Amino acid sequence: MRLSELPKGSPAVVDRVDDAHASDPIAQRLRDLGFVDGEPLRVVAIGPMGGDPLLIQIGSTRFALRRAEAARVSVRVEVAA
């Protein structure tokens, strides 16, 4: 599932970040900011106009990402044991 499709509030875990094109600086920056395999995150807020941008809680940090940016992040929803 793409991070851009994740419903607000449901916890998920980062799978990987995909480059939208060759040497994509935005994808690289997302990885540098901690969007790496196994990192838990969730959508905490959604922008008031057209549902964009998204506010993502990852670790102790909150990042505002546009949907196009969030679409680069592949996430998996882990079923609570």
List residues near another protein by CB under 8 A: 20, 25-26, 28-34, 36, 39, 44-50, 52-53, 55, 57, 59-66, 68-69
CA–CA distance, 29 with 41 (Å, rounded to integer): 17
Q: Which residues pair with 13 in a beta bridge?
A: 40, 76
Q: How far is the CB of 77 from another protein (least distance, A)?
A: 18
Compare residues 20 and 77 and give the one whose CB is closer to another protein.
Answer: 20
Looking from the CA of 31 toward its CB, the CA atoms found within 13 Å total: 12
Compare residues 50 and 80 and give the one whose CB is closer to another protein.
Answer: 50
Q: How far is the CB of 7 from another protein (least distance, A)?
A: 16
Q: How far is the CB of 42 from another protein (least distance, A)?
A: 10
CA–CA distance, 3 with 43 (Å, rounded to integer): 8
User: Phi then psi for 19, rounded to 5 degrees?
Assistant: -70, 135
